[in-house]
């Protein structure tokens, strides 16, 4: 982050916490320790501290770093939708395929699940059928699912 931009953000932070002011040496220390973080991440940390910091004085360098680490850890955690995209879902036991039993005919058939992994399986199946690879016919797999 550029030094001038950092000092502008720090000045805004000082204005929010009226209990104390930083001198030039302290501002320099803040920049040396916190200037390495990307500006959007630093902004998020400052916004979080403004909303949640209970002290009347400017947050310490360590408190700002802890907030940055907290934000980074929350951003790096995959959402449930991202996990389902990667792993499938509980319905298909994370395989993308569900076993369907046909009691009258007394057999079990594997069909694609409705999750993202199942869609990938379905598209691969359809692509194989399109390329005339010998695959068993299945009326449930004839339609390609758009992404």
Better-predicted residue by pLDDT, 31 or 51: 31
Nearest one of 5, 74, 75, 76 to 34, comparing CA atoms: 5
Checking if the pLDDT of 32 tops 90, the result is yes
| Cross-strand bridge partners of residue 97 | 112
CA distance 52 to 16: 12
In tens, the pLDDT along 34-69 reads 999 998 889 888 888 888 877 778 888 888 999 998
Q: Would you put residue 102 in left (φ > 0), alpha (ψ -120 to 50) or beta? A: beta
Joined together, the tokens standing for residue 133 give 């690879």
Helix (H, G, I), strand (E, B) or coil at 62: helix
Mean pLDDT of the chain: 77
Tell me what pLDDT residue 113 has: 86
Instruction: Give the percent of the chain with pLDDT over 90.
Output: 10
Residues 6+ apart with CB under 8 A from 24: none
In tens, the pLDDT along 89-123 reads 778 877 788 888 877 777 788 888 888 778 877 88
Tell me what pLDDT residue 31 has: 93
Choose the weakest-confidence range: 23-27, 80-84, 95-99, 139-143. Answer: 139-143
């Amino acid at each position: 982050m550029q030094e001038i931009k950092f000092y502008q953000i720090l000045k805004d932070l000082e204005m929010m916490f009226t209990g104390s002011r930083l001198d030039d040496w302290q501002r320099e220390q803040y920049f040396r320790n916190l200037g390495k973080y990307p500006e959007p991440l630093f902004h998020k940390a400052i916004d979080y501290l403004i909303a949640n910091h209970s002290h009347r004085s400017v947050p310490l360098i360590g408190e700002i770093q802890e907030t940055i680490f907290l934000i980074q850890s929350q951003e790096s955690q995959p959402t449930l939708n991202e996990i389902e995209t990667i792993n499938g879902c509980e319905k298909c036991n994370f395989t993308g395929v569900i076993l369907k039993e046909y009691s009258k005919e007394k057999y079990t058939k594997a069909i694609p699940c409705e999750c993202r992994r199942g869609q990938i399986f379905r598209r691969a199946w359809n692509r194989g059928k399109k390329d005339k690879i010998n695959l068993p016919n299945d009326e449930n797999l004839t339609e390609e699912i758009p992404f």
